[in-house]
Structure formats: structure tokens, C-alpha cells
């Protein structure tokens, strides 16, 4: 099989960045088997039950990648693989603006406030403040009436400058 099992790099990116629960690896292994992929480590990984041992999952996922001839990501090249599904889920209506911003805010935090991600952090807190207050201090001129449009416009402009093809 030439293609990767479903969500392979998405799950690995979340794991490398420390932003995904270990259960995602078990779900990934199950999805891979259902998609026709098979290896000893993949089957073991799919059969794991909580509580999960991060060392065991790390070992099994590395072995499964090796057995399936999958080139693993590095932490440095994993960020686009974490971001792309967020934008896809947002555009498909699977994530709300706030949920998408929460994930992107968390990514900003684990990357030590990387400048390209900082606006997601600020927009998240602007939106959060406006849910409970009339004012926010994170985004200039944002208020309850225009925050959703500001977020939508920002996402749209961000995608224009970072096409989906370059994210995955």
C-alpha cells in the first residue's frame, strides 16, 4: 500500500507536540487496521486498554511505523500536520471557532509563543472574554458584535497565506 493509514501524521503531530491523548494512538491503530493495514505492533497497539503507558505506546507506534515503512515526523515538521486538520474540521463545521482557537492557542503555548501562532492565542482570549464581559484587551477594536467576523476574516487570510497543500 502506498498511502498512509488515515490520520497518521495528524496523530503523530499531536503526540510529538504533547497535545493529543494517548488514546488517539489506539484509535489510529484501529482505523489503520480497518483501512487494510496490518502489522504485529499495529494489532497490539489497537488492542491496548486504559490506563495507557506512554512508553509502551511510544515503543509500539515506532515499531508499527517501521513495520509499515512509514517515515516518522520530527517535532519541527509536525506543526503543519497538526494545524491542517483543525482548519479542515472548522470549515466542515466539526469544530466551533472557539474549539479551533483553543487548539491553536495550545499549539502557541507549546511552541513558546511562536510569532506565527500568537494571533490565535490573542483571538482565543478575546473571544473568551467577550463571552462573559463587554470588553476584552487582546484584539484591537473587537467587541461582541464583530468578534466572529474578525475571527472568520483572520482564518480566511491565514489560509490564503498558508495554503492547505503547504500544511499537509
Q: What is the pLDDT of residues 71-81, one digit of tens each?
A: 999 988 899 99
If one compares 163 and 136, the residue with the highest pLDDT of the two is 136
Contact partners, residue 83, CB within 8 Å, separation at least 6: 104, 107, 162, 167
Angle value at C-alpha 72, between 70 and 78, nearest 5 degrees: 135
13: exposed, middle or buried (Cβ count in 10 Å: 0-12, 13-18, 19+): buried
- The pLDDT of residue 2: 56
Burial class (CB in 10 A: 0-12, 13-18, 19+), 36: exposed
**pLDDT, mean of residues 134-145:** 97
Lowest mean pLDDT among 9-23, 119-133, 135-149: 9-23
76-117 pLDDT, tens digit each: 889 999 999 999 999 999 999 999 999 999 999 999 999 999
- The whole-chain average pLDDT of the chain stands at 93
Are 19 and 103 spatial neighbours (Cβ–Cβ below 8 Å)?
Answer: yes
State phi, psi for 56 to the nearest 5 degrees: -65, -45
Amino acid at each position: 500500500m502506498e498511502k498512509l493509514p488515515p490520520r497518521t501524521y495528524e496523530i503523530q503531530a499531536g503526540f510529538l507536540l504533547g497535545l493529543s491523548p494517548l488514546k488517539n494512538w489506539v484509535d489510529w491503530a484501529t482505523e489503520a487496521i480497518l483501512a487494510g493495514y496490518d502489522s504485529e505492533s499495529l494489532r497490539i497497539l489497537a488492542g491496548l486498554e486504559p490506563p495507557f503507558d506512554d512508553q509502551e505506546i511510544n515503543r509500539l507506534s515506532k515499531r508499527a511505523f517501521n513495520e509499515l515503512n512509514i517515515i516518522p515526523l520530527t517535532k519541527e515538521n509536525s506543526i503543519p500536520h497538526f494545524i491542517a486538520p483543525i482548519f479542515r474540521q472548522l470549515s466542515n463545521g466539526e469544530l466551533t471557532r472557539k474549539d479551533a482557537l483553543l487548539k491553536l492557542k495550545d499549539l502557541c503555548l507549546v511552541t513558546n509563543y511562536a510569532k506565527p501562532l500568537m494571533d490565535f492565542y490573542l483571538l482565543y482570549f478575546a473571544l473568551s472574554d467577550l463571552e462573559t464581559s463587554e470588553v476584552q484587551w487582546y484584539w484591537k477594536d473587537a467587541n461582541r458584535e464583530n468578534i466572529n467576523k474578525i475571527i472568520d476574516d483572520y482564518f480566511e487570510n491565514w489560509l490564503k497565506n498558508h495554503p492547505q497543500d503547504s500544511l499537509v
